[in-house]
Amino acid sequence: MNRNELSTKLAQEKKITKQQSDDIIVTLFNIIKEALKNEGKVCIKDFGTFLLKSRKGRTLKAISTNEIIKIPDIIEVKLKVSKSLKDFLNEKEN
């Protein structure tokens, strides 16, 4: 499901316009992004926890050119899925 499909589904379920659902989704994602940037963690009950994790840079050697490539340190976003979501997903597969 992509963002457009999510917006359409939200509009249908809550009987609001697609523009209103788009605004809600954009606002929600902006709040999550700001919270991650400022606090480093966002917990959503029955869904999971978004965490920031730093990954150390490294150097690689390109096999074809023998050129040394430096990969810088980066910050990644990880999702630790809640137990209730794992249980829900595993019930669907059985």
Q: Which residues of the chain have pLDDT under 50?
A: 94
Whose structure tokens read 């979501």? 85
**Of 69, 44, 49, nearest to 58 (Cα)?**
69
pTM of the model: 0.76
CA atoms within 13 A on the CB side of 27: 6
What is the structure's pLDDT at 67?
92
What is the structure's pLDDT at 18?
95
Angstrom distance (rounded) from CA 54 to CA 40: 11
What is the structure's pLDDT at 62?
87
CA atoms within 13 A on the CB side of 64: 0
